[in-house]
Amino acid sequence: MEKRTLVLEAIAAKEAAYVPYSGFRVGAALLSKSGRIYRGCNIENAAYTPTNCAERTAFFKAVSEGEKEFLAIAITGDTDDYVYPCGVCRQVMAEFCDPEAFRIILAKNEDAYCSFSLGELLPGGFTAEDLKKVKKETK
């Protein structure tokens, strides 16, 4: 799939953002290996901490539909700069995505975007492999 197609989906996803507190809209579009696209927007909350980022909304929608393998995500905001995923969202990506293969596409608009691998944006991410390394005597 063309990167631009995913960027256009992220721009459309941003329209549903619920941001009464920050006014900072974010849209994401997540491409699964099965070829489906899951849109996500940020959803804020009066208690602030329950706020969900656009990226995690897209991931949780997809995983709740049975998807567990992903190829790429496009992310966009309303600023003149790129909106990078927060640390929590990068960690959620690391749960499901290959650090070398998964692409994170950052879009200023439909004509200006760049992309990184997950490993570039989350070097040394914590994974299930780390859990297996616990020493027996500490159990």
- Give the residue numbers marked as catalytic: 55
Q: How far is the CB of 71 from ligand THU (least distance, A)?
A: 19
Q: Is the dihedral of CA 121, 108, 19, 12 positive or negative?
A: negative
d(CA 137, CA 80): 53
Q: How far apart are the first and last CA of the chain?
A: 46
Task: Quote the least distance from Cβ 115 to ligand THU, whole Å.
Answer: 15
Residue (88 or 130) nearer to ligand THU, CB: 88
Which residues bind to ligand THU, rule: CB under 6 A? Answer: 19, 22, 24, 26, 42, 44, 51, 53-55, 83, 85-86, 89
DSSP per residue, 20-73: TTT---EEEEEEETTS-EEEEE-B--TTSTT-B-HHHHHHHHHHHTT---EEEE
Among residues 37 and 92, whose Cβ is nearest to ligand THU? 92
Q: Between residues 41 and 139, which has the closer beta carbon with respect to ligand THU?
A: 41
Shortest reach from residue 33's CB to ligand THU, in Å: 23
